[in-house]
Amino acid sequence: MPRQVRQKSERGIYHVLLRGINGHTVFEDEEDHVKYLLGVKECKEKSGFKLMADYIMGNYLR
């Protein structure tokens, strides 16, 4: 079954979460973190969204 359409926030504030499937690691090493952050930076520059906070941590829910 496909995911339902995401509802737009009236305030335009979203909590975005990236998590590995079945507890798998998303970021293997520091290089993966850097690539991810560079991708976020590139998207931010293109779209102009405001990033209020960012935090990278291991997959703690195993």
Tally of residues, the chain: 62
The predicted-structure confidence for 14-43, as pLDDT tens digits, reads as follows: 888 887 888 788 888 889 989 999 999 999
Distance in angstroms (rounded) separating the CA atoms of residues 26 and 17: 12
pLDDT of residue 61: 53
pLDDT of residue 2: 84
pLDDT of residue 47: 93
Model confidence at 60: pLDDT above 60? no
What is the percentage of the chain residues whose pLDDT exceeds 70? Answer: 92
Distance in angstroms (rounded) separating the CA atoms of residues 45 and 22: 32
DSSP 10-30: SS---------GGG--S--SH
